[in-house]
Structure 1
Amino acid sequence: MIYVFTALYCEAYPIIQYLGLKRRQDINRFQLFSDDRVSLLITGTGSLNAAIGVTSLFSLFSPGSGDILLNTGICGTDNMNLKKGTPVLCNKIIDLATFKSVYPDMLYRHPFAEGTVLTSPVPVTAGTEKRYNGPGITVTDMEAYGIFCAGSIFLQPHQMFFIKTVSDYESGEQLNGMQVSELLSANVDKIFGWIMPIHDELSKRRVSVFSDEEKTLLEKAAEAMKITVSMRHQLNQMMRYHKLLHGGFTAELTNFLEDRLKKPCKTKNEGKKCFEELRKRFV
């Protein structure tokens, strides 16, 4: 199942229309629309409402390793080079209330701009003190951090995706529901055309796709790079993805180990650098 969370009905409407989702009458607390593959829940605005919505739905339906969480909707930015309607896939989420950061795994090639989303407890305008000047693209919303925190209780970081569509330049501009829906409608086909195959792949992973030889090679790579348990999980996901696309990875990974890892990494920092090189080669 692909679980989609939006804050507002006008953000959900283009998806409901595109997929032909139907309202579930047995769920009263939230508006829930679904078919046999997608469930979309409207949480209301703000991190708290978003977290409650995710927790409520997942407590009812118990998502598993083959499921996906997608949070989509509008966002603001002070980057005038980003055109309105640009979809941004978020690789980092910062809570502006606590300045804590979380990181969705970026394991898949994608056609989107990539950036950081700042989740604010109030709408961000030009006068709002954000206290974040990191590199790259930055956008703002009010739900992503709460959705990630609640979602991470049930799912792994590689199962959660946050795609925000630029709607304003933090000038205090007010968009009506129709304008919001029009902005998001332009990206629905692109988003679901990308995420549906990922869901198909994750569903297949419920059955192991690795041979004994491949498992031994992956263990050898993990030990040589001295990577953490979380990074071992990412390594397995990358290699599954690569195998499903290309039929195998044994020769390429063996060459990588012989070329880059003639000697095992001595420190965690060395291991992280090596892991990043491997990720760039295989993703």
Structure 2
Amino acid sequence: MGALFFALSSEAKPWIDALGAKPDKEQGHFRFYSTDEHFLAVTGTGKIQMALAVAELAGKIPKEKRKGFRIWNLGIAGSALPSQKRGDFFWIHKIKDFSRGFEFFPERLETFSLSREAHLTTFDRPIASSRFSEIETPFLILKEEEIERLELIDMEGSGFFEAASIYFELEQIQLGKIVSDHLEGKFCRPEDVSELMKIHLDSLLADFLKTNILRKEDVLSSSEKEFWQKEGEKLNFTKSMLVDLEKSIRYYKLRFPEREIPKPPSSSKENPEKKDAKEMFCLWMSSLHV
């Protein structure tokens, strides 16, 4: 089983046609389509809409049926890099929520047909570069020096990942983006969006329909879990930080079985304050998601 999340109807249409999905009989706040095994959701633009739709979908699936469940967000994204061509597809391995400064680290432990990866920054408004003169509203215009620090840009990724990671394991969650523009400040026509989504449909569909999704292996012994939890507690990590830390250490060990687990950052304070704990958590997570 699996679920596909799209912000736009034009993004979802090729997938709805390919899977033969029909409007779900039990419609809620969002537009859901389904087959005997899969769900598709059209959420509308924005990270909050996306996060709410993920939560609504999770309510449709009993917890005991979520194992082995794929949950993907696919769609278009603007690119700040000329080297990324229109129609190129990228799996996302780092997401930054621009307005909050939060960072998230999806893990792709499976081998898929398409292999290129990129960073994604999620904004609250559509973004345009100041080097273009004819820009439609309501684009937020960024200066060239601001654009240089970016790669792919969307409005949903952080909301999708943050919500999905509450209900599903990290190995079940994937984000993939297709380059639609280079921040020219113009909206894509729906028919053009659908054509872009068709470019890699066959490859992505074959991977989505795989039944051998990687299951989480218990690669950490009880003593290792206890050790790393104590290390996190020394740094005044919250419970949610400790949960994320354990997952990240597990995935690091899966990816690099011969390497030592990176050590936590040292603190000059005996009892770090909340802001210090967050900074140290981000530093440690960055070393685990190389």
TM range (shorter): 0.7 to 0.9
Match of 1:4 in 2: 4
Match of 2:39 in 1: 39
Match of 2:122 in 1: 119
Residue 149 of structure 1: SS of its match in structure 2?
helix
Match of 2:75 in 1: 73
Structure 1 residue identity aligned to 2:30: F
Residue 148 of structure 1: SS of its match in structure 2?
helix
Q: Indicate the larger mover: 163-172 or 187-196.
A: 187-196
Select the residue among 209, 213, 216 that pairs with 1:201: 213
Residue 79 of structure 1: SS of its match in structure 2?
coil
Tell me how far 1:40 sits from its aligned partner. 0.4
Q: Indicate the larger mover: 150-159 or 56-65.
A: 56-65
Q: Which runs of 5+ in 1 are unaligned?
A: 240-252
Query: Hey, what's the Cα distance between the residues in 2 that align with 1:201 and 1:194?
Result: 10
Distance 1:133 1:35, change over 3 A: same
Query: Hey, what's the Cα distance between the residues in 2 that align with 1:77 and 1:170?
Result: 7
Residue 212 of structure 2: SS of its match in structure 1?
helix
Match of 2:177 in 1: 164
Contact between 1:76 and 1:170, CA under 8 Å: does it hold in 2?
A: yes
Tell me how far 1:229 sits from its aligned partner. 2.2
Q: Please report the RMSD computed on the Cα atoms of aligned residues, expressed in angstroms.
A: 3.3
Aligned sequence identity (%): 26
Tell me how far 1:7 sits from its aligned partner. 0.5
Higher helix fraction (1 or 2): 1
- Aligned positions of 1:1-283 closer than 5 A: 1-62=1-62, 64-110=66-112, 111-127=114-130, 128-129=141-142, 131=146, 133=148, 138-197=151-210, 199-202=211-214, 205=215, 219=221, 229-234=246-251, 256=258, 267-268=263-264
Q: Deviations over 1:6-37 (max 9, x none)?
A: 00111000101111111112214221111122
Q: Which runs of 5+ in 2 are unaligned?
A: 131-140, 230-244, 266-283
Distance 1:22 1:230, change over 3 A: same
Query: Hey, what's the Cα distance between the residues in 2 that align with 1:72 and 1:158?
Result: 16
Residue 3 of structure 1: SS of its match in structure 2?
strand
Residue 171 of structure 1: SS of its match in structure 2?
coil
Query: Hey, what's the Cα distance between the residues in 2 that align with 1:158 and 1:109?
Result: 12
Residue 73 of structure 2: SS of its match in structure 1?
strand
Relative to the length of structure 2, the TM-score reads 0.71
Query: Hey, what's the Cα distance between the residues in 2 that align with 1:167 and 1:91?
Result: 19
Q: Deviations over 1:48-78 (max 9, x none)?
A: 1111111111122245221121000111012
Q: Indicate the larger mover: 7-16 or 120-129.
A: 120-129
Distance 1:187 1:27, change over 3 A: same
Contact between 2:228 and 2:246, CA under 8 Å: does it hold in 1?
A: no
Structure 2 residue identity aligned to 1:82: Q
Query: Hey, what's the Cα distance between the residues in 2 that align with 1:267 and 1:142?
Result: 34
Contact between 1:222 and 1:232, CA under 8 Å: does it hold in 2?
A: no
Residue 213 of structure 2: SS of its match in structure 1?
helix
Structure 1 residue identity aligned to 2:166: I
